[in-house]
Amino acid sequence: MQEFDIVILGAGSAGYQAAIRAAQLGAKVCLIERDFIGGTCLNKGCIPTKALREYAQVLYTVKKADTFGIRISDFCVDFSKYRERKNRIVRRLRQGIDYLLKNHEIELITGEAFIKSPNIVEVNLSREISLIKAKRIIIATGSKPNKSVFGEKNAEIISSDEVLDLSVIPKRMLIIGGGVIGCEFAGIFRELGSQVTIVEMMSQILPGKDEELARSLTNIFSRKGVNIYTDSKVERVESNSSCLICKLDSGREFQVDKVVVAVGRNLNTENIGLEKLGVLTRERKILVNENMRTNIPDLYAAGDVTGGPYLAHLASLEGIVAAENACGKERVFNYNAIPECIYTHPEIAAIGLTYSQAKKENKNVKTAKAMFVANGRALTLDEREGFIKIISDENEGKILGVHIIGAQASELINVISLAMNRGLKMLDLVNSVYTHPSLSESIKEAAEKVLIQ
């Protein structure tokens, strides 16, 4: 029986980061993965979707070239090139992770893992069963798409994983779910020429996000020709010889070529031994404390299995915190300032509280916006859509939340993440010097507006 200090189930964002950190701290580490290293983010999520998004973004830039005085008389769209490029990027990043694991002398085992006891892991290696002894175990098995099927199994009803491997751009696409994943795919495929329809059960797309951001994206999508039905549910999808017929609970009916199900994810916490061990869970989420410990000694969990939000950068940090505590350190995870991004066009990013959340917490709130239409850099980019909104505590000048829709929002939010994590206040944002012209100048403008209220 092999023996390790730390055994980690799952080589996704949480798992491989935990493995590397534990090895850096001197632990003998084993990492078990049933599929490809890198997990959902690298293989079926963040990286492939951004490769697809950039494919659509280049097409958008080509179409608007005349705005800059560049006339392109003819071009064609070769969708197969996207898949080739996506696969090439994924392979390269996998190789990078593999190099890091080998460089840190981490044992990587491919197989199905089952926790027999708090210190014994059974690995199914297809033809044989191997037992591994561990001083401590970290569960980082991630999640998978929740693919609902209407009636019989239909190849034209696909998950958010499967949409990344399409070989043809659908003429008509229905996206069930107007959350982050659904909105990203809606923007991408509309830009690629698909007629896109979003059906969302809640009263707005991007449920739970800042209401003003959601309204702004709704307006942008509508202008681009995306059909949006909120407060609606797809009751059934039926096939005929040429298409899918979709019927809503309102009685509305329309025809599409593909249905993409983007209504959440299922956690990979089944059949790994949790019930037998007595690990506390709630709705399949593994319950952990601020150190990422479960209720079972020597057993930790990190990433999607702890219940989200499902963010790769969040999972990575949780994995690192779990590894440090498993190696005898005491580190607490702070969830107060975790940024998130939505890669629509324009991009969306947010951190901290929304205005509604801040008011519910009985805070004295001040808020202000800076519009990108007044930003010199945004105008030179011809990306004048959107704004930066800052929410502040009136008494202390504390940054409570920032919400951005506009060009490079995914980069701009990192400035705010640093500020919030370092405890900086509104006056610090105002007194900082920003390059000119830059999109980040709008951060200062919004902060100034808050302070002069």
Question: Cα–Cα distance between 178 and 174 in angstroms, integer?
Answer: 11
Q: Which of 104, 313, 345, 436 is catalytic?
A: 436
Q: How far is CA 302 from the centre of its chain?
A: 15
> For 240, phi and psi rounded to 5 degrees?
-125, -170
CA angle, 287 then 293 then 295, to 5° = 60
Handedness of CA 267, 270, 276, 277 (dihedral sign): negative
What token pair was written down for 173?
Answer: 């696409």
- Given a contact cutoff of 8 angstroms between Cβ atoms, the answer to whether 295 and 118 are in contact is no
Question: Cα–Cα distance between 263 and 179 in angstroms, integer?
Answer: 8
Work out whether strand 347-352 and strand 244-248 pair parallel, antiparallel, or are unpaired.
unpaired
> Residue 34: what residue type?
R
What token pair was written down for 169?
Answer: 């751009």
Counts for the chain of helices (H) and strands (E), in that order: 13, 24
Question: Cα–Cα distance between 8 and 141 in angstroms, integer?
Answer: 9
Q: What is the 3-state secondary structure (H, E, C) of 146-204?
A: CCCCCCCCCCCEEECCHHHHCCCCCCEEEEECCCHHHHHHHHHHHHCCCEEEEECCCCC
Question: Cα–Cα distance between 213 and 204 in angstroms, integer?
Answer: 10
Question: Cα–Cα distance between 438 and 453 in angstroms, integer?
Answer: 25
Position of tokens 């896109």? 196
Per-residue CA distances from 204 to 126, 146, 178, 197 (Å): 46, 20, 8, 14
The helix-helix angle for 441-451 and 409-421 (nearest 10°) equals 50
Phi-psi region of 223 (alpha: psi -120 to 50; beta: other; left: phi over 0): alpha
What token pair was written down for 81?
Answer: 């090139």
Is 313 a known active-site residue? Answer: no
Known catalytic residues?
A: 436
